[in-house]
Amino acid sequence: MRKILLLLCVSILFSGCENFLDINPDSEVVNDDMFNTAEGVEDALYGVYMSMVKEDMYGGKMSVLIPEILAQNFTTIEYYLSYLSRLDLSGTFARSSVKPLWQSSYSVISYLNNIIDNLEHKSEKDFPYYKLYRGEALGLRAAVHFDILRLFAVHIGSTDENAKKKAIPYVTKYTFKVTPFFSVEEVYDKIIADLKEAEACLIEDESLMPAVRKGNEKGFTGERELHFNYYAAQAMLARVYWMKGDLKNAKLYADKVIRSGKFTFVDKNALGTFMKRRVSLSETIWGLYTTNISVYLFDKQLKSNVLKLPSTYANVYKISGENAGEKDEREKKWFMRKDFEGSLKDVCIKIMDENNDVSPYTGGGYFGLSMIRLPEMYYIMAEALLEEGNAGKARVYLDSVVAARGLVKFADREFEREITIDDIMNEWHKEFYGEGIWWYCLKRNNKDIFVHERNTIVAGSDKIYTLPIPADEFESRDD
């Protein structure tokens, strides 16, 4: 990825802004210079991706650190984060911990809106890849808003009607004006609209992304796994509809991704390496390029105890019943005990590596992290089919992942039975441990949570599933 002028410009222009929904646009000179050429537009998009992998966003806090602590997949001794670990989300310390996520996300959205606004004055006559540019920008805008929504707003199934009426701002203009808060339903509608337009714009990826990819493609139309691509739009629509509770539409888009034939499960022998510091050429539908995530997250576990595996983490992978004693390959490959300064520590090494990220790297994908992977589509299909009453076909989709991970299929177990929603959710937990997804699974179903630091079960509620919006975001607002 190229080093880009935009990133330097926006970091200077926007430093010190307290309200990230009211960011001053950059100068017309910068706009004119950057968006008059295809290279300038591409550099602007690369700048967005590079901003997204910073530690306050998907390079650490937003992808793993905070959602994994909230989900109790990790505990922490870090003072501010310990409030999140206890699910005490209403106080000053919790606000301080999550404020960077809000600020960084809306910064990225502002950059995207600048790109989209400038593209409004251009067309395919100006840029051969105009539709790709627009599709990526719209898809990214929707994806970031979606994460803000599911972090900082109540779930759409909440009974608190007042909270649902005022969820988050959905910002679509690069302007001085403050964007009002929209309802949860309105935000979902806007996310879905952006994603559907993105899907239409990105259809060229059907040819740009062959079923077998070598990983050495160059230029803007190469390495499409590292861009918000056509299949990312479909997978994100599946994820959004699933979170919303619309399984009919979630199934429609998950099925599109699966049927595309562009993504396959890795061999079980590659489980220990295919995600470690890399974007898989097989399972990753969309990932972000970065060379820093491993050092950041590995050190948080091994050296600082900011992330600490609970003593019971292995219970997630425990196999009972007629297959008791079988070992889940994911537990064997994704966790290990490390000797650090004379003491042993259990460490999740799934997407992390103690080696420096910039050490020599040989194929199998790109440096980075996955934003959305193939197994999620199969779990969505399984749940949608189960809801429709087709338990047999639901089991086929769930067994596809189970078998790929080296386990006995439900259909082949000694005491054959129909799968349940608990079977599906247990697989979500096993598969996505350490990836910042499990908390959203819990929130979607308003599940009770066993809180390690309290040593008790806390009842599911909006109180434990809604992060506090920064207080200064409400200053000088009329809405």
Contacts of 373 (CB under 8 A, 6+ apart): 280, 283, 284, 285
CA dist., res. 391 & res. 443, Å (int): 24
**Of 3-12, 317-326, 339-348, 376-385, highest mean pLDDT:** 376-385
Q: What pLDDT is attached to residue 246?
A: 98
Tell me what percent of the residues of the chain surpass a pLDDT of 90: 69
Cα–Cα dist 333/258, whole Å? 25
Fold type of domain 1-201+448-479 = 1.25.40
pLDDT for 16 beyond 60:
no
Average pLDDT over the chain reads 88
Pick 221 or 363 by higher pLDDT: 221
Per-residue pLDDT for 387 more than 60? yes
Residue closest to 309 by CA, chosen among 273, 277, 338: 338
468: pLDDT strictly greater than 80: yes
In the chain, domain spans: 1-201+448-479
pLDDT band at 17 (very low <50, low <70, confident <90, very high): very low
Tokens of 39: 């290279």
For residue 314, what are its two tokens?
């292995």
Per-residue model confidence (pLDDT) at position 190: 98
Which of 26-30, 138-142, 280-284, 452-456 is modeled with the greatest confidence?
A: 138-142
DSSP 59-73: TTIIIIIHHHHHTTS
Q: Which residues contact 4 (CB under 8 A, 6 or more apart)?
A: 43, 44, 46, 47, 50
The 10s digit of each residue's pLDDT in 89-100 is: 988 889 999 999
Question: At residue 324, does pLDDT exceed 80?
Answer: no
Q: What is the pLDDT of residue 13?
A: 35
Asked if 6 and 111 count as a contact pair (C-beta separation under 8 A), the reply is yes
pLDDT of residue 25: 36
Say how many C-beta atoms besides its own lie within 10 A of residue 424's C-beta.
Answer: 22
C-alpha 89/C-alpha 73 separation (Å) is 17
Does the pLDDT value for residue 323 go beyond 90? Answer: no
185-191 mean pLDDT = 98
Q: Is the pLDDT of residue 265 over 80?
A: yes
Residue 327 tokens, joined: 């070992």
Give yes or no for a contact between 112 and 20, defined as CB atoms under 8 angstroms apart: no
Q: Positive or negative, the Cα torsion across 152, 286, 71, 338? A: negative
Share of the chain above pLDDT 70, in %: 89
pLDDT of res. 31? 54
Q: Are 11 and 52 in contact (CB under 8 A)?
A: no
